[in-house]
Amino acid sequence: MASFNPLATILNQKPLDGNNYELWKTNLYIFLDFEIIKFITTTPKPQKPAANASEETKKQFADWQPANTIARCYILANVAEHLQKQLNNLECVSKIIQTLNGMFAKSSNCQTSSYRSTNEHSHD
């Protein structure tokens, strides 16, 4: 069972609202690094190992489950309500991150581009 992580307050103070994705993701990764579960952001759900699977394969599966649960709960608890509803049906953290990247990673670049364009025109 995970103990309280004071770094979790970073996420609590600035939940994802759609406009702060890069900062939110950076803070999430800091938290997950501290919990030693950042691997979960890129690791898809492994298949349940067969009874005769190697101990390493069984350990990978056993390690993935609690790491995914911890990360998923922190993510869902620290996003806006409308995002919770969209993401709640995704079991795997790597899928949640892919979905959020698709929703917001490009929009951050567009916002920067839009700011530059607006800023350049204001100096004309």
Q: What is the pLDDT along the chain (124 residues), one digit of tens a residue?
A: 455 677 777 777 889 998 999 999 999 999 999 999 999 999 999 999 999 999 999 999 999 999 999 999 999 999 999 999 999 999 999 999 999 999 998 654 544 444 344 344 444 4
Residue 79, φ and ψ in degrees, nearest 5 = -130, 160
Q: Whole-model pTM?
A: 0.78
Alpha-helical regions (H) of 36-105: 55-77, 81-87, 93-100
Tally of domains in the chain: 1
For residue 4, tell me if it sits in a domain: no
For residue 2, tell me if it sits in a domain: no
Q: Return the half-sphere exposure (C-beta side, CA atoms, 13 A cut-off) of residue 40.
A: 29
Residues 6 or more apart whose Cβ sits within 8 Å of residue 46: 57, 60, 61, 64
For residue 48, tell me if it sits in a domain: yes
> For residue 91, what are the domain limits?
15-122
For residue 43, tell me if it sits in a domain: yes
For residue 3, tell me if it sits in a domain: no
For residue 74, tell me if it sits in a domain: yes
